[in-house]
């Protein structure tokens, strides 16, 4: 029988089962069950799980909890204050093997810590429910309260896992696992942001092979099962799952999430890869639109916590042709208008605009795939030529700068380049600061690519014009793996700390290599 708790009617709780969409005539139940039957389960429970407790999309009053059972299961969630008393139970879900169980835990208070516990038994049985491990999380904060979150990019998780598993190259995979261990151990975090290039459904160099009866395809995910497998690996308990069981997360789409609007010849992007990628994401990650607005595809949205406004952009989904120069990339008229409106109607002191890469940027090297977004940061610094941005980034800069809250600042944060750069303010053509700072994310998994040694890229990344790329000078940046821990201290200041990942023992691993504080004016 179920442990006793207060009636669910005391607090409205919505529990929904997300059903896998059919793709190209493949029946959804067949696709999902096939994956479940071949996935590696978590051990030690009467019911095992392909994806364990995963928290996403926190608000001031709710959080979404998702699990994917390896077996048919019945389950519900008990939750309450952290004193161990369960005050509320969700309704019970009966879930077929391989399908996500998605719970909206609501009726919560801003900035409070809650405990929760999942109770489960085999589907169709009458045995007692078994309680899984008790976990905790915190809701988003009220204005005036401090907020700390992690900003991560470029894990390339599936890519590195496949290379370690089928190609014998373990270094990158060891680093990304250590990065997730560091995030899981960081008790200061309210939430974290996966800022693009994590799932690798689009991967032009992923090896494949057979493992425990499962055929892992190489390169791009072109059938539903392969898209699901890659998100399963990303969200597995030893990867994102070890962090997200207690620290909720948000996500940003990168080019390696595969959901581009165009066919990129020579880059592997195509319509089928985009469909598979989109449906895999929407199977395992809940839709942000009902909570945060944006677009109904869940690729751009905005939320606030404390005195921080976070705006997630989609730079991959709105260009109509293969970009061959900076002007080929666009957020699209609808997303640009939405960005303008969100910033105009937000009154938070600090704004964090997060995108996979610049909407434009420099052409680096000769590879057609990279005629977008890479580099371009040189133009955030005034010089004798009074440089402005290439492409639509100039318009984006104008929109963001126009809505900087008096006394505060906005931060335009991008990944894609696998190097970290401290916040640097963009001046106008007269050399006066605009209140908009540019930040490079670094990488929590993949090492810097071939472009690291490209002369044009190095010039673009020489922010202080001393003739050397700033990721070679640890006063301003680094090419070491890590993540940003960002602390918003009310309306007073924002602190950026770059926490490095190292396979060497402490104190090197998880130590702060770069730090900058931006004070309110």
| H runs (alpha helix) in 18-110 | 28-38
The whole-angstrom separation of Cα 104 and Cα 287 is: 12
Q: How confident is the model at residue 379 (pLDDT cuts 50, 70, 90)?
A: confident
DSSP string for 74-94: EEEEEEEETTS---EEPPPEE
With contact defined as beta carbons under 8 Å apart, do 194 and 152 qualify? yes
Burial classification of residue 85, based on how many CB atoms lie within 10 Å of its CB (0-12 exposed, 13-18 middle, 19 or more buried): exposed
How many Å apart are CA 314 and CA 335, to the nearest integer? 8
Measured distance CA(99)–CA(19) in Å, rounded: 7
Question: Are the C-beta atoms of 252 and 193 separated by less than 8 Å?
Answer: yes
pLDDT at 426 over 70: yes
- pLDDT at residue 391, as a whole number: 85
Average pLDDT over all residues of the chain: 87
The single residue listed with the structure tokens 């066919």 is 263
CA distance 459 to 473: 14
Q: Residue 93 and residue 341: Cα distance in Å, rounded?
A: 39
pLDDT at residue 475 tops 70? yes
CATH 2.60.40.10 fits 8-138, yes or no: yes
In this structure, is the dihedral angle defined by the CA atoms of residues 82, 83, 89 and 95, taken in order, positive or negative? positive
Q: pLDDT value at position 390?
A: 80
Length of the chain: 521
- Residues of 455-479 as b/e, b for ≥16 C-beta within 10 angstroms? eebbbbbbbeeeeebbbeebebbbb
Q: What is the DSSP string of 210-245?
A: EETTEEE-SSS--SHHHHHHHHHHHHSTTTHHHHHT
Query: For residue 518, how many other CB atoms are within 10 A of its CB?
Result: 17
Using DSSP's 3-state secondary structure scheme, residue 389 falls into coil
pLDDT digit string, tens, across residues 47-85: 899 999 999 999 999 999 999 999 999 999 999 988 767
- pLDDT at residue 4 is higher than 50: no
Residue scoring higher pLDDT (465 or 344) = 344
Residue 269 DSSP class: B
Give the angle subtended at the CA of 103 by the CAs of 102 and 105, to the nearest 5°: 155
Confidence check: pLDDT of 5 > 50: no
- The pLDDT value recorded for residue 84 is 67
Model confidence at 12, pLDDT cuts 50, 70, 90, reads: very low
Confidence band, pLDDT 50/70/90 cuts, at residue 94: very high
Q: Which two tokens stand for residue 386?
A: 């009074």
Checking if the pLDDT of 384 tops 70, the result is no
Whether the CB-CB separation of 46 and 133 falls below 8 Å is answered with no
Six-digit token pair at 311? 């705006």
**What whole-number distance in Å separates Cα of residue 330 and Cα of residue 314?**
10
- Give the integer Cα–Cα distance in Å for 306 and 488: 8
Give 126-168 pLDDT, tens digit per residue: 999 999 999 999 999 999 999 999 999 999 999 999 999 998 8
Residue with more model confidence, 462 or 180: 180
315 within 8 A of 363, measured Cβ to Cβ: no
Alpha helices in 42-170 (DSSP H): 157-166
Task: State the Cα–Cα distance between residues 66 and 285, nearest whole angstrom.
Answer: 8
Question: How far is the C-alpha of 496 from the C-alpha of 518, rounded, in Å?
Answer: 8
pLDDT at residue 13 tops 70: no
Q: Dump pLDDT digits (tens) for 228-238.
A: 999 999 999 99
What is the structure's pLDDT at 510?
A: 94
* 3-state class (DSSP) for residue 174: helix
For residues 428-445, average pLDDT: 92
Q: Tell whether the model's pLDDT for residue 39 goes beyond 60.
A: no
Q: Which of the four pLDDT bands, split at 50, 70 and 90, describes residue 266?
A: low
56 near 250, Cβ under 8 Å? Answer: yes
Residue that wins the pLDDT comparison between 364 and 42 = 364
Percent of the chain at pLDDT > 90 equals 69
φ/ψ region of 482 (left if φ > 0, alpha if ψ in -120 to 50, else beta) reads left
CA atoms of 482 and 175, how far apart (whole Å): 9
What pTM value is reported for the model? 0.91
pLDDT score at 424: 93
Residue 125 has pLDDT above 80, yes or no: yes
Nearest in space to 271 (alpha carbons), one of 284, 258, 280, 281? 258
Domain ranges (residues) in the chain: 8-138, 147-519
Alpha-carbon distance of 57 to 65, in angstroms, equals 9
Mean per-residue pLDDT for 448-456?
86
For the ranges 355-369, 395-409, 421-435, 470-484, the one whose mean pLDDT is highest:
395-409
Least confident of 151-160, 252-261, 342-351, 405-414: 252-261
pLDDT-derived band at 3, boundaries 50, 70, 90: very low
What are 278-333's pLDDT values in tens digits? Answer: 999 999 999 999 999 999 999 999 999 999 999 999 998 887 667 777 778 899 99
Q: 378: helix, coil or strand?
A: helix
Q: CA 480, CA 448: separation in Å to the nearest integer?
A: 8
CA-CA distance, 82 to 109, in Å (whole number)?
A: 13
Q: d(Cα 52, Cα 68) in Å, to the nearest integer?
A: 7
CATH of domain 147-519: 3.60.21.70
Q: In the chain, pLDDT over 70 holds for what percent of residues?
A: 88
- DSSP category for residue 97: T
Assess contact for 155 and 198: CB atoms under 8 A: yes
Residue among 121, 206, 224 nearest 165 (CA): 206
């Amino acid at each position: 029988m179920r442990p006793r708790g207060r009636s669910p009617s005391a607090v409205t709780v919505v529990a929904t089962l997300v059903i896998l969409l059919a793709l190209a005539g493949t029946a959804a139940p067949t696709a999902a069950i096939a994956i479940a039957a071949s996935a590696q389960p978590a051990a030690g429970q009467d019911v095992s799980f392909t994806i364990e407790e995963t928290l996403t999309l926190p608000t001031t009053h709710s959080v979404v909890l998702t699990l994917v059972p390896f077996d048919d299961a019945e389950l519900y969630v008990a939750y309450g204050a952290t004193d161990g008393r369960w005050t509320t139970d969700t309704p019970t879900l009966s879930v077929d093997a391989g399908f996500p169980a998605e719970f909206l835990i609501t009726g919560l208070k801003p900035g409070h810590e809650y405990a929760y516990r999942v109770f489960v038994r085999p589907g169709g049985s009458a045995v007692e429910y078994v309680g899984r491990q008790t976990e905790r999380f915190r809701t988003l904060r009220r204005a005036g309260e401090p907020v700390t979150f992690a900003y991560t990019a470029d894990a390339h998780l599936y890519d590195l896992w496949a290379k370690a598993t089928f190609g014998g190259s373990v270094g990158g995979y060891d680093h990304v696992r250590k990065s997730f261990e560091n995030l899981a151990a960081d008790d200061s975090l309210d939430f974290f942001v996966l800022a693009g290039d994590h799932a690798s459904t689009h991967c032009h160099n992923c090896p494949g092979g057979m493992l425990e009866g499962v055929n892992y395809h190489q390169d791009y995910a072109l059938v539903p099962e392969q898209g699901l497998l890659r998100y399963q690996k990303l969200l597995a308990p030893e990867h994102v799952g070890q962090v997200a069981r207690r620290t909720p997360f948000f996500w940003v789409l990168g080019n390696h999430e595969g959901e581009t609007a165009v066919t990129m010849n020579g880059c592997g992007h195509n319509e089928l890869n985009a469909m598979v990628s989109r449906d895999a994401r929407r199977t395992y990650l809940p839709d942000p639109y009902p909570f945060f607005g944006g677009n109904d595809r869940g690729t751009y949205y905005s939320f606030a916590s404390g005195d921080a406004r976070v705006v997630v952009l989609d730079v991959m989904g709105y260009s109509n042709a293969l970009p061959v120069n900076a002007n080929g990339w666009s957020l699209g008229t609808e997303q640009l208008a939405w960005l303008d409106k969100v910033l105009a109607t937000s009154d938070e002191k600090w704004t964090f605009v997060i995108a996979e890469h610049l909407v434009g940027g420099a052409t680096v090297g000769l590879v057609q795939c990279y005629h977008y977004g890479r580099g371009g940061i040189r133009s955030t610094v005034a010089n004798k030529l009074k440089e402005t941005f290439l492409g639509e980034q100039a318009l984006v800069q104008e929109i963001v700068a126009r809505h900087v809250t008096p006394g505060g600042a906005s931060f335009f944060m991008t990944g894609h380049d696998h190097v970290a750069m401290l916040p640097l303010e963009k001046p106008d053509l007269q050399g006066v600061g605009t209140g908009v700072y540019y930040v490079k994310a670094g990488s929590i998994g993949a090492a810097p690519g071939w472009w690291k040694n490209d002369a044009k890229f190095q010039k673009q990344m020489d922010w202080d014009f001393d003739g050397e790329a700033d990721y070679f000078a640890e006063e301003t940046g680094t090419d070491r793996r890590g993540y940003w821990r960002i602390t918003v201290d009310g309306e007073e200041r924002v602190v950026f700390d770059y926490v490095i990942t190292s396979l060497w023992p402490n104190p090197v691993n998880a130590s702060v290599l770069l730090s900058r504080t931006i004070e309110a004016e």
